[in-house]
Structure 1
Amino acid sequence: MIDVETLIDHVRTYNPKSNSEKIRMAYAYGLKMHEGQTRHSGEPYFTHPIEVAVILAGQHLDDATLITALLHDTVEDTNSTYQEVTEMFGQEIADLVDGVTKLTNIELSSKETQQAENFRKLFLAMSKDLRVLLVKLADRLHNMRTIKHMRPEKQIKKAQETMDIFAPLAGRMGMQWMREELEDLSFQILNPEARSSIIRRFITLRSQTGDLIPQITKDIREALSAAHITAKISGREKKPFSVWRKMEEKKQSFSRLSDIYGFRIITDSEEDSYRALGVVHRRWKAVPGRFKDYISQPKSNGYRSIHTTVSGRDGKMVEIQIRTQDMHEMAEVGVAAHWAYRDGRQASNQFSVDPVEWLASLNERIEGSDDHEEFFEHVKLEMFADQVFCFTPKGDVISLPRGATPIDFAYAIHTRIGAACVGAKVDGHRVPLWTRLRNGQSVDIQTAVGQRPQSSWMEIAKTGRARTAIRRALREEHREGFVKLGAELARVALEHVGKRASDKALSTAAKKLGLPKKEDLLAALGSAEMTGADLVKALYPELLHDQSGEVNQPAGRIVGLDPEQFAQPAECCQPLPGERIVGIATRGKGVLVHTIHCEALIDYEDQPERWIDLRWTDGKGAPNNIATVEITMANDAGVLGRICTLIGEQNANISDLSFVDKKPDFYRVDIDIQVRDVEHLMNVVTAVEADSDIAQVRQTKRQPVLA
């Protein structure tokens, strides 16, 4: 664990005006807060925040970012509070620490839909201050460097999350070195055999041909020197994951793969960069279609460089990047350059971009998605995408991801242009709409009044913006027909189980399935996005199967009690299997079991010795747990009997019933129901709520009974 003075000395090398005392104070505070905590490796926990700060200091970042790194786990994992951090270090740092804490609490490795929603939260959190994401990326990098100390299943989960989300985010930020390292560390966990295979093939290649890197570097240096161009030249083998990805994409073996070597030429000026390109192309044969000029057309994150691939020594294809020193420094830190120091001054790089404008442009490129999965699809597409630049007839530049088509080009200009597209000319020649566009082409979109997006365009479009607009237009066009068909399908599905497709039932099902209104449910049924069985399952799951085979073990048993202790549910909250629970030791009554959110637990906050950590066993047991629901129903003949029947159909038993309030038009009734678990209770509530004569159904909470 490096000491604070070593960290401060390093920061002073690039920022002499650094507030060393504040860094010392953050170091001491973090060390105190994490005292006694250890990592999986057995090291003191505070070694992790220090290493995160060191990674960020390596990018020459400002004091606020480094202090946030030192404190980023204090509010989450110690007794520290947001208020305390604010008082000691100021509002800016407290907000940054809070932002990192919120990012940490977003669980990203989960079901696709939930993952997409969490991705929205991630973008919202990072939109307030991108330094939050910088700290989180450095945090993830150090965790990946030390991941071998975690359980194997945890390693796989974290590595997949890193590969899917954090690595491409680092790349989108312009921090390519971090993206490559995160990918390679993840690759080592997710596919160690493939990584080892790539490394062995590199070793075999070196033994057969010698180390080509210094040889090719010497060739480039001699060619540039002859043209009187001063430049720094470096070369390297591509990272194992980068090579593996190319092999997978191109379906080629290692021996047939080109450009497994990469070289970089750093010149003194932009003019020298273009002169160096001329020298390289005169000396070696350029590979067609592999030239990109990001100097004249920079990427949105500020990245500038010339990329070309040539056939070098012994016919080996090599990728060469040419840029100036300023461009190189920007390429190393990306958007983070806004907070970086150079020669003791902040944000002096002329190519650094405004992070607020950059984030706004990123959000604009992924805006307009109607649902979570579309959003997730667009974000991943935009983060992984390489770019091509095409021109409108007026000379305006349109930036698109690699593989984009004229349909994408049309929608990039305007949704109205995309919807009315009937054809396209590329460089003056009419081409099919599925043509893949290349850098520098001029594209002219032909439109016609009355044209509508075609379903076949979904296969043609590559950008999220175009696909979202097409999908929305197709849905709107067919929605009315889908709703009518869905209504008939709903009627048949519910009649099959003896129920009626009333407006109330359909609205209740829509709510249960997370849809805004019943028309959306009917449209989903009519378009085959949902089946009649899904509708019945949402309203009456117990009618879909025979419950006799569901009891697989005595669920409802509680784990965490001593052999001599016995437990009983607290009447105030009526805990059910499936809910988080805690036990309170009582005199003469054993252990009272409460739900974790029970208000009665407030009375025991100053008695921690009475608290017992409990949990339910897994499985589905018999319906012998009591839950009380309050039902507000119409005062009409037969309503109460129908409700009792509905409860019985859900394989739940009524153990008690009492009228709470009787009015001429409505009754309020408390019903004690025997259910298996909290999921069973929710099924009963949904089935009852779907009845047209029910105004409200809710689980009631009784008055606390204190021990």
Structure 2
Amino acid sequence: MIDPEAERKEILRHYRRLLRYAKPFLKDNDAKIIKKAFNTSLEAHKDMRRKSGEPYILHPLAVAQIAVEEIGLGTTSIVSALLHDVVEDTEMEIADIERDFGPSVARIIEGLTKISGVFEYGSSQQAENFRKMLLTLSDDVRVILIKLADRLHNMRTLDSMPRHKQLKIASETMYLYAPLAHRLGLYAIKSELEDLYLKYTDTETYRDISRKIRQTRSARNKFIKDFISPIETELRRYGFKFAVKGRPKTIHSILKKIKKQNITFEEIYDLFAIRIILDVPLENEKAACWQVYSIITDFYQPNPDRLRDWVNTPKINGYESLHTTVMSKSGQWVEVQIRTKRMDEIAERGYAAHWKYKIGAGIGESGLEIWINKVRDMLENNTANALEFMDEFRKNLFVEEVIVFTPKGELIALPDRATALDFAFEIHTDIGQQCLGAKVNQKLVPLSHRLHNGDQVEILTSKKQRPSEEWLKYVVTSKARSGIKDYLREERKNKAELGKASLKKRLAQLNIAESQATINKLLAFFNVPTVLDLHYRLAVGYIDPRDIKEVIFTEAADKTASRLEPKSFDRQVQKIRGVTSDMLVIGENTSSMNYTVAPCCNPIPGDEVFGFQTEADGIKIHRTNCQEGMELMSNYGNRIIKAKWTDKQELAFLAGIRIKGTDRLGLINDLTKVISNSLKVNMRSITIDSNDGIFEGNIMVFVNDTGHLDTLMHQMGKVNGILTVERFE
């Protein structure tokens, strides 16, 4: 039963909490405006409920709360967050908002309304949506900050959504919103979004790691206390005002480390970072950070390879901090981050805090603004379709950077892994298109040479040089890619004109009219997607004009041509989804269905999976926590098919097992016995590498399902000398 009185109290409690957080920065009329926005939103959503059953108004309140408490935004943003769904869900229009709340709020709401909703209709729509969102970034960055707050609250309340929606929203979050939060410097939000993604796509691993973090909490706190105690004494002796925080790494980053370095949870040395936050005036910041570094290294031995100085050269998103990794008395490596209060606020709250300090300090153009100008530049000069654009954008948005110099000593920031060719395009598209090679630190290098921090680069050009397809392999920046693609597109068009002429000539020889029907028959016969492709292939000789014969245009050819046409997806999908169910059951009368198991994640029965309709290979089955799957779910929501394994499954699936242990005579024999005798498992391959008494091995086996695989791994773990057994993709 719904209790209206209890709900009213709950809503007011959230509203008062919001005001409590906003209070420190409210000016003359602000509280009244916020109250008016709250009442407008309350009235607009009064009959609406969320999927969880709670009153809808709690969502705008929560988004406003995140905007204030976690991003540090002000009154305009609170009002915009409270009203962010009003225009979309009710009769109210932007003009009404402008009349009641002013032009700033109206502009933000308009930006948010443009990018509302999760589009289900294919990727280009979703990508177009993302492009619109970025366009609003150059008008008012608050649009994106509120959108991130909205997405964070949706992820926190994803429990009440149906499973396929959970997967779609979580993948899209991981694909676009988490990296965007990272680039805007919102580390706390980025980390939470990544962890929530994991919670819904790989629940078991998520629970396992969070349990381990909880179990080690008290030992960790004691460790931090002992580690920091001598440093605190010394800092006080020097008269520093400071605070110390110790925080564990996020679940997502722990898992990433386990996979990347192929280690277990117990082997991760820097499970947490210790942060020393200094309260010093702006002009003393640098000196103070280095002085604290010197104090720490008096007590603990630093690892010289792990010193990161983002105090002198902040990251593009404005992040400043000094990181060092030192050896504790107990033989553990510990990461220590040294920063000031100002730096810490920028690190936690990113862009919003950045503005707060910038207005006060009158600092020059920051890395973040340079980045926003680059985004604007990308949007204005982009001729690619929305999907290509999104791909380019992700590649450039979410990477660390290398800092290099021109011959005159100007500093240029490029994404990590950038090459000499990227540098050439960064200077000017014409220089890029005519680039022959480069001199890096006075030495001649090819176009594909990868640049490193501090390189000085001089570009060599020639009027005769022309870009080729090959060049796309050498570049990582979108400016370079679009410069090369524009040239190739133009070149292709010019070539196609020649092909068009030779087609005309051939059809005239055969005495066949150049109609749409004729062209369609040629496209079907040669299996070519577009007319431009047909012309181009004729021009470059992929198709010989002499292969165009009269027989292609006869009745009999129609039947063969129609066989060449790809099967219509929609028919297939209708067939699968059937009248009874919208779920593809794998292994149950699906022999007539054209499905294959995706090689990127090798799912086996028992894994949580989904189906994806490809254009050429029927339906591909992926694991829900597969990296490639994340991209597909995020981009092509309408092609996702819910799928599950049937229990009537006697097929064998290939799975990989990685083992580590101490080498001894007869160990391999014991292992293979477990595999083939006790569990009747067929083994496809085994590779073992032994070094200094420790061995690592990869075994490929055929199993029926995850239960079968778990039993096998459990038995292998019991073999004397085996330390770890885990599945790999």
TM-score band by shorter chain is: 0.5 to 0.7
Moved more, 391-400 or 219-228: 219-228
CA distance in 2, matches of 1:541, 1:495: 25
Match of 2:200 among 177, 184, 189: 189
Which amino acid in structure 1 is aligned with residue 465 of structure 2? Answer: Q
Which amino acid in structure 2 is aligned with residue 85 of structure 1? Answer: I
CA distance in 2, matches of 1:317, 1:392: 38
Q: Aligned-pair distance for 1:232?
A: 2.6
Q: Aligned-pair distance for 1:454?
A: 4.7
Counterpart of 1:381 in structure 2 is 395
2:81 is the alignment partner of 1:63: no
Q: Aligned-pair distance for 1:387?
A: 1.7
CA distance in 2, matches of 1:5, 1:291: 45
CA distance in 2, matches of 1:134, 1:188: 23
CA distance in 2, matches of 1:248, 1:489: 54
Moved more, 469-478 or 71-80: 469-478
- Summarize the Cα distance change of 1:489–1:116 in structure 2 as closer, same or farther, 3 Å threshold: farther
TM-score by length of 1: 0.65
Counterpart of 2:425 in structure 1 is 411
Counterpart of 2:98 in structure 1 is 86
2:133 is the alignment partner of 1:122: yes
Q: Aligned-pair distance for 1:287?
A: 4.4
Q: Conserved in 1, the CA contact under 8 Å of 2:311 and 2:321?
A: yes
Q: Conserved in 1, the CA contact under 8 Å of 2:111 and 2:133?
A: no
Which amino acid in structure 1 is aligned with residue 245 of structure 2? Answer: S
Deviations 1:587-608 (A, max 9, x none): xxxxxxxxxxxxxxxxxxxxxx
Which amino acid in structure 1 is aligned with residue 86 of structure 2? Answer: T
Counterpart of 1:621 in structure 2 is none
Counterpart of 1:19 in structure 2 is 30
CA distance in 1, matches of 2:271, 2:507: 58
Matches within 5 A, 1:366-445: 368-372=381-385, 373-431=387-445, 433-445=447-459
Match of 2:89 among 73, 77, 87: 77
Deviations 1:136-172 (A, max 9, x none): 1111111111110111111111111111111111122
- Where 1:348 maps in the other structure, the secondary structure is helix
- Where 1:439 maps in the other structure, the secondary structure is coil
Match of 1:360 among 368, 373, 382: 373
- Summarize the Cα distance change of 1:192–1:212 in structure 2 as closer, same or farther, 3 Å threshold: farther
Matches within 5 A, 1:156-167: 156-167=167-178
Q: Aligned-pair distance for 1:184?
A: 1.1
Q: Conserved in 1, the CA contact under 8 Å of 2:399 and 2:415?
A: yes
CA distance in 1, matches of 2:125, 2:534: 20
- Summarize the Cα distance change of 1:88–1:365 in structure 2 as closer, same or farther, 3 Å threshold: closer
Counterpart of 2:685 in structure 1 is none
Q: Aligned-pair distance for 1:50?
A: 0.8
- Summarize the Cα distance change of 1:83–1:362 in structure 2 as closer, same or farther, 3 Å threshold: closer
Q: Conserved in 1, the CA contact under 8 Å of 2:422 and 2:476?
A: yes
Which amino acid in structure 1 is aligned with residue 475 of structure 2? Answer: A
Which amino acid in structure 1 is aligned with residue 427 of structure 2? Answer: I
CA distance in 2, matches of 1:553, 1:332: 46
Q: Conserved in 2, the CA contact under 8 Å of 1:491 and 1:500?
A: no
CA distance in 1, matches of 2:408, 2:183: 29
Q: Aligned-pair distance for 1:238?
A: 1.1
Q: Conserved in 2, the CA contact under 8 Å of 1:312 and 1:318?
A: yes
- Summarize the Cα distance change of 1:209–1:322 in structure 2 as closer, same or farther, 3 Å threshold: closer
Counterpart of 1:48 in structure 2 is 59
- Summarize the Cα distance change of 1:499–1:139 in structure 2 as closer, same or farther, 3 Å threshold: farther
Query: Which structure 2 residue ranges, 5 or more long, are not aligned?
Result: 1-10, 580-729
Which amino acid in structure 1 is aligned with residue 375 of structure 2? Answer: L
- Summarize the Cα distance change of 1:463–1:192 in structure 2 as closer, same or farther, 3 Å threshold: same
Counterpart of 2:313 in structure 1 is 297
CA distance in 2, matches of 1:427, 1:109: 50
Moved more, 160-169 or 318-327: 318-327
Higher relative contact order (CA 8 A, sep 6+): 2
Query: Which structure 1 residue ranges, 5 or more long, are not aligned?
Result: 560-707
Q: Aligned-pair distance for 1:389?
A: 1.3
Q: Aligned-pair distance for 1:377?
A: 1.7
Counterpart of 2:276 in structure 1 is 265
Q: Aligned-pair distance for 1:135?
A: 1.5
CA distance in 2, matches of 1:468, 1:29: 46
Counterpart of 1:321 in structure 2 is 337
Which amino acid in structure 2 is aligned with residue 153 of structure 1? Answer: H
Moved more, 211-220 or 151-160: 211-220
Q: Aligned-pair distance for 1:201?
A: 4.6
Deviations 1:6-39 (A, max 9, x none): 4323311233546111111111121111112111
Q: Aligned-pair distance for 1:194?
A: 2.6
Counterpart of 1:522 in structure 2 is 535
2:114 is the alignment partner of 1:102: yes
Q: Conserved in 1, the CA contact under 8 Å of 2:396 and 2:476?
A: no
Counterpart of 2:562 in structure 1 is 544
Which amino acid in structure 2 is aligned with residue 371 of structure 1? Answer: A
- Summarize the Cα distance change of 1:347–1:519 in structure 2 as closer, same or farther, 3 Å threshold: same
Counterpart of 1:337 in structure 2 is 353
Matches within 5 A, 1:134-153: 134-153=145-164
- Where 1:159 maps in the other structure, the secondary structure is helix
Q: Aligned-pair distance for 1:476?
A: 4.1
Matches within 5 A, 1:184-333: 184-202=195-213, 212-218=223-229, 220-221=231-232, 224=235, 230-257=241-268, 259-267=270-278, 268=280, 269-280=285-296, 284-287=300-303, 290-312=306-328, 314-333=330-349
Q: Conserved in 1, the CA contact under 8 Å of 2:440 and 2:456?
A: yes
CA distance in 2, matches of 1:72, 1:314: 52
Query: What root-mean-square deviation, in Å, do the aligned CA atoms of Structure 1 and Structure 2 show?
Result: 4.5
Counterpart of 1:468 in structure 2 is 482
CA distance in 1, matches of 2:421, 2:350: 31
Deviations 1:653-689 (A, max 9, x none): xxxxxxxxxxxxxxxxxxxxxxxxxxxxxxxxxxxxx
Which amino acid in structure 1 is aligned with residue 473 of structure 2? Answer: E
Q: Conserved in 1, the CA contact under 8 Å of 2:384 and 2:482?
A: no
- Where 2:276 maps in the other structure, the secondary structure is strand
Counterpart of 1:574 in structure 2 is none
TM-score by length of 2: 0.64
Structure index of larger Rg: 1
Identity %: 34
CA distance in 2, matches of 1:491, 1:483: 13
- Where 1:544 maps in the other structure, the secondary structure is helix
- Summarize the Cα distance change of 1:478–1:96 in structure 2 as closer, same or farther, 3 Å threshold: closer
Deviations 1:558-594 (A, max 9, x none): x9xxxxxxxxxxxxxxxxxxxxxxxxxxxxxxxxxxx
Which amino acid in structure 1 is aligned with residue 83 of structure 2? Answer: L
Which amino acid in structure 2 is aligned with residue 408 of structure 1? Answer: D
CA distance in 2, matches of 1:239, 1:526: 55
Q: Conserved in 1, the CA contact under 8 Å of 2:403 and 2:452?
A: yes
- Count of residues paired in the alignment: 539
Q: Aligned-pair distance for 1:508?
A: 14
CA distance in 1, matches of 2:139, 2:329: 49
- Where 1:104 maps in the other structure, the secondary structure is coil
CA distance in 2, matches of 1:464, 1:199: 38
CA distance in 2, matches of 1:231, 1:56: 27
Q: Aligned-pair distance for 1:501?
A: 4.8
Higher helix content, 1 or 2: 2
Q: Aligned-pair distance for 1:453?
A: 3.3
Counterpart of 2:45 in structure 1 is 34
Which amino acid in structure 2 is aligned with residue 188 of structure 1? Answer: K
Q: Aligned-pair distance for 1:423?
A: 3.4
Q: Aligned-pair distance for 1:399?
A: 0.6
